[in-house]
Structure 1
Amino acid sequence: MDSRLRIRDMTFADCRRVSEIRVGGWRTAYRGLVPQSYLDTLDVDADAEEHRARLLRGDGGAVDLVAERGGETVGWAAHGPYREGEVRTGDAELYTLYVTPGLLGSGIGRALLTEAADRCTAAGHPWMHLWVLKDNARARHFYERAGFRADGAEESFEVHGVAVHEFRYTAALPLRS
């Protein structure tokens, strides 16, 4: 069996596995950071259906990537134009990055981030931004090691009645680490 990691574009057939990774990622990474009542409501089937619908309609610029090892999808990332509210800017944004929880720290996330940044660089984006939960120390450390820095922008959103705070991280492209 081939154990090399391969990064490729996500297909319709990947939606279920990507949803398993996303829901598992939320339940692992955000335990204690968002209400458990919300994490308990996450549903793989419903999430997979949302991915399928989004892929069918297209969303005007998001690129979904999957990491595959030995024929199994083990990670997912999505990137595209940075959004200032509803306006897309000339910069790029990493919308999401998740790895199968038991494989954290194995290089999969870094490979997905590198591929997303390389594609954004090739598309002419000078900067890449992303949002990370203020209290998600593991993720913040991961992005800092990759060359991202908090730029002072903050925002909050509500999850089951609880305010969750995010910091924006920014890096010049191409990434240099």
Structure 2
Amino acid sequence: MSSTSNFEVRPATVRDAKAIAEIHVSASQAAFKALFPGEKAPAMAIDKSQAYWCDAIEFSEPQVFVALDAGQVVGFVGFDRSRDKGTPPTTGEIWAIFAATSHWGQGVGLALWDAAREGLLEEGCTKVTVWIPLGNERALHFHDLAGFKREMTSIKTVPVGAVKVEEIRLKRDLN
């Protein structure tokens, strides 16, 4: 993966929360439809997502960065220490990374990953993890290209609306 990008990445502000929520909801629903064709995507309320991301930005838990294209928010990443039990404090986690569907495949994810990696290194992290639904080929491919390795023994089932989704943890060194 190349680290060149045409996107500006900066820490999110509370004013970005609505755009973040809109991207979160639309990209999540598009990914769900690709995973489960014919299934009804679970309802995600933009206002609920906006409240979550507003709190995250205000309290820096997780840290949130946005990618901009001509001044418009086109993606975001949330990252912090790993939430997984038993992980050392030097393990970070990508809590969420999403790009607007209109910008898929254009380098937004790479720009956000680069910024999150730098942020985690500044926090003293040496490793990073991310949880991805097993059937989300787009996300798995992106993280494979970014150097993440799948931990086959980590697979877990989580409810997403009325559907159960298997997720896998991916991990990589930050160096």
TM-score tier after normalising by the smaller chain length? 0.7 to 0.9
Amino acid in structure 2 at the alignment position of 1:66: V
State the TM-score, normalizing by the size of structure 2.
0.87
Query: Alignment identity in percent?
Result: 23
Any conservation in 2 of the 1:4–1:70 contact (CA below 8 Å)?
A: no
State the TM-score, normalizing by the size of structure 1.
0.86
1:36 is matched with: 40
Looking at structure 2, the residues matched to 161 and 23 of structure 1 have their Cα atoms a distance apart, in angstroms, of: 17
Looking at structure 1, the residues matched to 19 and 32 of structure 2 have their Cα atoms a distance apart, in angstroms, of: 19
Greater alpha carbon shift after TM alignment, 150-159 vs 137-146: 150-159
1:66-145 → structure 2 map (5 Å cutoff): 66-85=66-85, 89-145=89-145
How far did 1:87 drift?
Answer: 7.3
Please give the secondary structure, in 2, of the residue aligned with 1:116.
Answer: helix
Residue 11 of structure 2 is aligned with which of 9, 12, 23?
9
Any conservation in 2 of the 1:78–1:97 contact (CA below 8 Å)?
A: yes
Amino acid in structure 1 at the alignment position of 2:12: M
Alignment of 1:148 onto 2:148: yes
1:165 is matched with: 166
Please give the secondary structure, in 2, of the residue aligned with 1:30.
Answer: helix
Looking at structure 1, the residues matched to 104 and 44 of structure 2 have their Cα atoms a distance apart, in angstroms, of: 21
Please give the secondary structure, in 1, of the residue aligned with 2:124.
Answer: coil
Deviations 1:109-155 (A, max 9, x none): 00100110121122221100000000001110110011001022111
Amino acid in structure 2 at the alignment position of 1:36: K
Please give the secondary structure, in 2, of the residue aligned with 1:36.
Answer: coil
Any conservation in 2 of the 1:132–1:139 contact (CA below 8 Å)?
A: yes
Change beyond 3 A, Cα 1:73–1:86: farther
Looking at structure 2, the residues matched to 93 and 53 of structure 1 have their Cα atoms a distance apart, in angstroms, of: 18
Please give the secondary structure, in 1, of the residue aligned with 2:144.
Answer: helix
Looking at structure 2, the residues matched to 62 and 88 of structure 1 have their Cα atoms a distance apart, in angstroms, of: 17
Looking at structure 1, the residues matched to 7 and 138 of structure 2 have their Cα atoms a distance apart, in angstroms, of: 22
Looking at structure 2, the residues matched to 173 and 160 of structure 1 have their Cα atoms a distance apart, in angstroms, of: 33
Looking at structure 1, the residues matched to 123 and 55 of structure 2 have their Cα atoms a distance apart, in angstroms, of: 26
How far did 1:4 drift?
Answer: 4.2
Looking at structure 2, the residues matched to 127 and 95 of structure 1 have their Cα atoms a distance apart, in angstroms, of: 14
Amino acid in structure 2 at the alignment position of 1:120: L
Any conservation in 1 of the 2:78–2:94 contact (CA below 8 Å)?
A: yes
Looking at structure 1, the residues matched to 111 and 41 of structure 2 have their Cα atoms a distance apart, in angstroms, of: 32
Looking at structure 2, the residues matched to 160 and 86 of structure 1 have their Cα atoms a distance apart, in angstroms, of: 28
Looking at structure 2, the residues matched to 113 and 101 of structure 1 have their Cα atoms a distance apart, in angstroms, of: 17
Any conservation in 2 of the 1:130–1:168 contact (CA below 8 Å)?
A: yes
